[in-house]
Amino acid sequence: MQLMPNIEMDGTPPLVSVVVPAYQAAQWISTALDSVLAQTFEDYEITVVNDGSPDTEELERVLAPYRHRIRYLYQENQGPSGARNAGIRASRGRYIAPLDADDIWEPEHLAAQVMVLEADPSIDVVHADARIFGNSLQAGKTVMELCPSASEEVTFAGVLTRQCTVPICVSVARRESLLRAGLFDTALRRTEDFDLWLRILKQGGRITHQQRVLGRYRRHSGSLSSDPVVMIESVLVVLAKAAEYEGITSVERQLIERQRHAECASLELHKGKRAFAAGDAKAAVEHLARANAYYHSTKLTVIVLLLRLSPQFLEVLSDFFNRFIYRPRTPV
């Protein structure tokens, strides 16, 4: 790893360390950094971690006006987990505020989140709500609108079953809590935050939230979360890890297994939709039939039956399928 000296660091550490991983982010990162610099809370440092990005030359050109305000690290590509971990290890703050290079904070984000953590030392992580924007059917909605939290306290079961989503772009955590949990799993290129929150909760940590919208979460075709198939496949990897946690109870193991079945059904449904869109009636039938073994949906039953009778129904059913078949929840 290379540390590019750019800011003067005195002996007094900041309260908050903002960690921004950057990979092919030159077109977005200035907006993200501007949202940090516009915070009403000012006791922070910013670390940008260039994760071996192929657009390094352009990225460094964009970062040039900010170099007096940021610490800039360069490392060979390790994925988002490795980049976040590098930034956390290099940080000096009591609290870690992750921010992806394509997301944006509202000006009160740090002030509101730090207030919660300072008021209750037993809280390990606090998150807020985020509004989705960009190239997405969900644009304009918030994460909590799509996935309402049942209570203020975030539970292992709630995160496991995705009844509660902890958006990393509007989360602030105690640095010591992240280190104690083992940081992000570098084997995961997606859903690494889902994995970390589960580990923190299983180890007895506390995660809470406030319902204020304190950030904007960008969805676009190039984002790691844009492909529901690979996202669900990654969720299944995390669930397999969770089943091996030390101290996992029989009730939790049953929850994990039920969630695994739900995710597998969702995966088959998305693969079926993909085959449907590609005009592959045979593959669509196979995937949708597997999905329906879980969902027991009348609509899916009819679609599968018609496609089995005649693949020519595929084109006729296409609009109906995309308009009316329910869409299973995928990680935001």
- Per DSSP, the residues of 281-300 read HHHHHHHHHHHHHHH--HHH
Q: Which pLDDT tens digit goes with each residue over 289-331? A: 999 999 998 888 888 888 888 776 665 555 555 554 544 444 4
Lowest-pLDDT range, 45-59, 154-168, 302-316? 302-316
Note the pLDDT of residue 223: 59
Above 60 in pLDDT, residue 8? Answer: no
Note the pLDDT of residue 328: 47
* Amino acid letter for position 99: L
* Amino acid letter for position 264: C
- CB of 128 closer than 8 Å to CB of 111: no
pTM beyond 0.85, yes or no: yes
- CB of 74 closer than 8 Å to CB of 50: yes
Domains with residue ranges and CATH for the chain: 2-223 (3.90.550.10), 240-324 (no CATH)
Q: Which pLDDT tens digit goes with each residue over 225-255? A: 668 899 999 999 999 999 999 999 999 999 9
Q: Which pLDDT tens digit goes with each residue over 86-123? A: 999 999 999 999 999 999 999 999 999 999 999 999 99
Per-residue pLDDT band at 136 (split at 50, 70, 90): low
Note the pLDDT of residue 183: 98
Q: Give the dihedral of Cα atoms 132, 133, 137, 143; nearest 10 deg.
A: 0
Taking each helix axis from N to C terminus, what angle separates 281-295 and 250-277, rounded to the nearest 10 degrees?
A: 150
Note the pLDDT of residue 266: 93
Hey, is 144 helix, strand or coil? helix
Distance CA 332, CA 314 (A): 30
Within 8 A by CB and 6+ apart from 328, the residues are 262, 265, 266, 269, 270
- CB of 290 closer than 8 Å to CB of 268: yes
